[in-house]
Amino acid sequence: MRRKSFKTRIIIPTVIIVAALFFMLIFSLSLRFSALSSNLINEKLAANINSLKLFFDNAKAASRAAAVSIAQNYDVINAIRERNTDELIRLVSPAPALYHINYCTITDNEGTVLARIHEPGNFGDSVLNQQNIKDALDGKTSTYFEQGTAVRVSVRTGSPVYDTDGALIGIISAGIRFDTEDTINELEQLFKSEITIFLGDTRIATTITRDGQSIIGTTIDPQIAEIVIENKQEYTGDAKIFGEKYKTFYMPLLNAHNEAFATFFMGIPETEITASTNKSIRDGVILGISGLLVSIVLLFFIISSISEPIAKLSSNMDSIANGNLHTRINVKSEDEVGLLARSFQKVAGIIHKLIDDINLMITEHEKGNTDYYLNVDDFHGDYKTLAQSVLKFAAFGITDQLTGLPNRRNFDNRLNWQWKQAMKESTPISILVIDMDKLKNYNDSFGHQQGDMAVQTVAKTIKLSVKPSVDFVARWGDDEFFVLLPSADSGSAVSTAEKICAEIAKVLVPCAEINGLNVTVSIGVNTQVPSPGVSIDSFISIADKALYQAKTAGRNRVAVGGEG
């Protein structure tokens, strides 16, 4: 009988064992994928909630700006005095495009409707039941979430209209309605989520369908209704809607009397991610069990037929497979077993280093040191490719894609870290809140692509105007930048701000229509020595108020928090 060679008895079974371990790794990764998918959905919902609240704040501001501006229009005042409905509709019809509202109602000084631009043929009725109308009749401008006669759910502002002799002759009520199909479809596209508006506990507008039909007219879950409508609290969590599971957010809309008369719903369905997760887990379980059974059978024959070095190698490899990458493979032989042992040790060392480097990078980023990255040149082949992919993913999460600057999340981490350092060392820390002047007008005149070029130019100029490797520049929003100046006192911060302001004013943004365009910025400055009684929010808020002062004073200038 021909004797099997040592190579045949060890190499083939070892290859199969490695394959089994690989399949078990797939199973482990499928579980990690499930957790990661859930976290991604939760992070998306949290980001959408913040954006939604900002959207409502902007809606309130837009309705107020529209109502006040229209109320002060001389031609509108004359048309109200003459009770000229057609003229009022003609004069006010451009308001939605100008102020980003979608309805406007004009009444006389008794609350009787003279004109509605959203329903031109509907006038002559009384809207005295609306609190914004009552307030306006008392001479006050007020903004509320409110239910109206023709518009069931909206944010609206009522502003009094005065004649040239100071007499109150009418009211402008303008706002943004949320009870139409067009509005919720726009919000669905904006937030990439399902949207529903409830009036009371009943759906009056929704993007959710069942068997191809809208579920308008159905009611909110009673338990959620108790939290949102009765207790007037927001609700975030899992919910089933007609059998489908969602990650949801319910927000009560409170009117002037602090009543939750309506509810805004935003939800992300889990159907797709659940199916993908279940398939990954199912496949992983099958492969894992198969790999384990194969490994047990093969290891039985290997341990039965091979000498002590193989038994040691098997024990050591089991330890590494269970995640103990510090394990030393205690095989000293110089034959094929020894070579195999050293190869496994090298692989474990590379994986261990890669995991350690990734964990260290994550730890440093969480502390605010986002300048720290793993060194991909320490790895080769597919390990280097994996390290590069991890690096790109890490950078994508903390970098603004338009300007290449750190993004808001990155800035928050750095500020928290620098704040703690400054508090520990009792040293000052300064912040510059920079806002591009009239970027909207720039976009409207030359297009958003040209506007993006302007944003990029400003970002580059700011970065060139501060100390590299010391000062931290980030993009906060569309036209807003933050600069963090560690250890900088007020004088140094103001000097840096004035330099940035001057440098940007000198830069010409390339433009195909003309030779070049100037852009300017306004800057709010605040300096603080952190202490336990001072919050980061107030630190930023003071600088933001200073920015408002700079804007109010004429733009293209610097204002210091606490002055003026």
Cα–Cα distance, 457 to 443 (Å, whole number): 14
Locate 533 and state its tokens.
């009684």
Per the listing, tokens 């009870």 go with 179
Cα–Cα distance, 242 to 254 (Å, whole number): 27
Q: How far is C-alpha 120 from the geometric centre of its chain's CA atoms?
A: 39
| Ordered domains of the chain (ranges, CATH) | 1-177+273-302 (3.30.450.20), 193-269 (3.30.450.20), 307-390 (1.10.287.130), 408-560 (3.30.70.270)
Task: Count the residues in the chain.
Answer: 564
Instruction: Give the SS3 label for residue 87.
Output: helix
How does 514-533 read in b/e, with b if 16+ C-beta sit within 10 Å?
Answer: eeebebbbbbbbbbbebeee
Q: Measured between alpha carbons, how far is residue 155 from residues 103, 175, 177, 202 in Å?
A: 10, 5, 6, 19
| C-alpha gyration radius of the chain | 32
Locate 562 and state its tokens.
């606490």
pLDDT tens digits for 477-533? 888 999 999 999 999 999 999 999 999 988 867 654 554 567 899 999 999 999 998
Give the residue from 301, 353, 282, 286 showing the smallest Cα distance to 17.
301
Give me the amino acid identity at 65: A
Give the residue from 208, 168, 290, 195 showing the smallest Cα distance to 249.
195
Say how many Å lie between the first and final Cα of the chain, rounded. Answer: 101
Within a 13 Å sphere around the CA of 523, how many CA atoms are in the beta-carbon half? 28
110: number of Cβ within 10 Å: 10
Cα–Cα distance, 315 to 153 (Å, whole number): 68
Locate 427 and state its tokens.
């040293």
* DSSP strand pairing (235-241 vs 244-254): antiparallel
pLDDT tens digits for 200-245? 999 999 999 888 888 999 999 999 999 999 999 999 999 988 888 9
pTM of the predicted model, to two decimals? 0.47
Give the residue from 228, 192, 220 showing the smallest Cα distance to 207.
192
Residue-by-residue pLDDT tens, the chain, 564 positions: 555 555 566 666 766 776 666 556 665 665 566 666 677 788 888 998 999 999 999 999 999 999 999 999 999 999 999 999 999 999 999 999 999 998 999 999 999 999 999 899 999 999 999 999 999 999 999 999 999 877 899 999 999 999 999 999 999 999 999 988 889 999 999 998 999 999 999 999 999 988 888 899 999 999 999 999 999 999 999 998 888 899 999 999 999 999 999 999 999 887 756 655 666 566 655 765 675 566 555 645 555 555 566 666 667 667 777 767 666 766 666 666 667 767 766 776 777 677 777 777 667 666 556 666 667 687 778 777 776 676 666 656 688 889 989 999 889 999 999 999 999 999 999 999 999 988 887 788 778 888 888 899 999 999 999 998 889 999 998 889 999 999 999 999 999 999 999 999 888 676 545 545 678 999 999 999 999 989 999 999 999 999 999 999 999 999 999 654
